[in-house]
Amino acid sequence: MTAFRVVIPARYASTRLPGKPLADIGGKPMVVRVVEAALKSGACEVWVATDDQRVADAVVAHGHRVAMTRADHASGTDRIAEVAEAFGWLDDDIVVNVQGDEPLLDPALVAGVAQALAADPQAAIATAAHAIADAGEFMNSNTVKVVTDVAGRALYFSRAPIPWPRDAFASDRATLPGGLGARRHIGLYAYRVSFLRRYGQLAPAPLERFESLEQLRAMWHGFHIRVIDCVYAPAPGVDTAEDLERVRAAFAALH
């Protein structure tokens, strides 16, 4: 198995849930629960990247690694790029970006995207998707869809329903036709460090602005994204106070 690292960007500020990384999940801060899940993936190192001393102190208090970063990053990808540069990681090294608000993270999925990237030397990024069976989800613009080529590399990501089954939907839009292969994108990414070094120099793409999908910038500039399939939708992350209560209950049920 190819070695890989995990970096977890964690900002204290959150519009809908201030102090989110430190929210208690079963007696530990949420960001610590995310680190514990990421460590089960087989990563050789797991780092929390933050610009907030409170988050750093909580992570260190539980015996985990922290990288302090600048406060002015536009995205978690930029924050991870700073960490990779600061530690001098090599161009071919693989880093998985794990969101700091997903304490129910599946470690196997983290390992899966890392190994998929390692196995595809032409790809700069790897990510994941799962099948869509419900027409309502397929039509929902909050559900990001992805279509791939025969090699499993992304052709396009969109909030629009793709691929569009023209003939089937001419008579019935309430049911997805068999074999359509509609897939929902899961926002988990593995990167080669060489791509992270280039990322900050890439101009935003028109498609990225219209779709509000950051990954389209990489594709616009010619980088390949490998997509793996998972059987089940991942557990939800935490964006709101209601999400937090649901995750707490789910975590308690599992432990």
Give CA–CA dist 38/58, Å, rounded.
17
Strand pairing class (45-50; 65-68): parallel
Blockwise average pLDDT, block size 10, the chain, 255 residues: 95 83 95 97 97 96 96 88 96 96 94 98 97 96 96 98 96 95 96 95 94 95 97 86 92 87
Burial of 245 (0-12, 13-18, 19+ CB in 10 A): exposed
The topology (CATH level 3) of 4-131+184-250 is Spore Coat Polysaccharide Biosynthesis Protein SpsA; Chain A (3.90.550)
Residue 207: closest CA among 136, 154, 255, 252: 154
The ranges assigned to domains in the chain are 4-131+184-250
Give CA–CA dist 112/97, Å, rounded.
13
Predicted pLDDT at 23:
94
Strand pairing class (24-25; 65-68): unpaired
Token pair in block for residue 151: 């090699």
Amino acid at 212: S
The CB density around residue 146, as the number of other CB atoms within 10 Å, is 22
Predicted pLDDT at 165:
97
Predicted pLDDT at 254:
84
Amino acid at 245: E
